[in-house]
Structure 1
Amino acid sequence: MPSRPRSPTSSAYPSAGWTSRAPTPTPTPRDWDAPVLCGYETVAGDLALSLDVWTPHAPATPDARTARDAATAPDAPTAPGAPTAPNEPTAALRLAVLSGTTVLYPATDLRNPSAYWAATPDGLVTRARVEESDDPAEPRLTVEAVEARVPHLPGARVQLLPEVYRSEPIELPTTGADPLGVTPT
């Protein structure tokens, strides 16, 4: 997940909450006109499954703060009476509630491949850092830290994630006085 290209929606389940012993399915012909496409693969580490869900009419996510994200996000259908696809945070939270486990999805507001959101079945949404091991033979995904306690991720440290706040602009007050008391000549 973190080092692979991200699809419009990528989610992952903690291994404590969701397990699958089924082999990765072989590629089959897809109906590319279907309203939703989904694929999955089993992963090692703190997560058990990686889901790739693609909806051609998914609305932009609320945390899409950059112009590039906003410009590339497809619009939701506008036909009267047509159901609209939920945005990624809403879909992840619904999936967490329905499946009874935590669902992780990429934090598109940060340009950091390890930045994710974690949505829990009880409605908590918090930031998470997911790292992929360097072992190409058996890549492992580890949830290193979360900003709030997540019961399905007991091995994750609970801490503020500096990479989140490093990217936030900090407004500094301006004054007419020089802090060193030196006047320009």
Structure 2
Amino acid sequence: MKKMIFTICAAASIFFIGGNDTQAQSVTHSVVAGDTLYKLGQQYGVSATEIQRANNKSSSMIMVGEKLTIPASISAAEKDLLARLVLAEAEGEPYAGKVAVATVVLNRVAHKDFPNTVTEVINEVSNGYYAFSPVQNGRINRAADSESIRAVNEALAFRGQGAGSLFFYNPTIATNHWNATRTETIRIGNHVFSK
């Protein structure tokens, strides 16, 4: 219900106020040799599954010269915010860990128990606790590096797949071990991911 209300309000605001250049919009892509749905997902920052669905495809097969509708992704501002969070949370972690951190945020956006946008998920405060400590301590304000930006695009392309992680923590430095009570999905570097 909250997603439907948000969608209606967002559509109304675009209609009455007009979109801006940070809004994501769908585009058309002409398939060239070497393109795959996954590569297009990375290029445009949208799930390969969403591209397949937007083009009514029953398989991932695409043909050179075919025109594909690439659905809207998250806005450029939200991609930047997510990449800055990835840098702050996963600096010094393996690349796969950076992708997994971005995936956690995207999984929360899609989950009924969390807010509906990347910005709201990242800035969420519940019972006086920030969802992500870099928001509280200001580390999120640093510019993202190229690896964090690439990790966000990969997470967007991979969206809807994987183990459904909603949380992560570093057991070595965590002061609250609530996450340890969750179902572990994977360990990457110093982080434990769970749902």
TM-score between the two structures when normalised by the length of structure 1: 0.20
TM-score between the two structures when normalised by the length of structure 2: 0.19
- Whose helix proportion is higher, 1 or 2? 2
Q: Which one has a bigger Cα radius of gyration?
A: 1
| Greater length-normalized contact order (CA 8 Å, ≥ 6 residues apart) | 2
- Whose strand proportion is higher, 1 or 2? 1
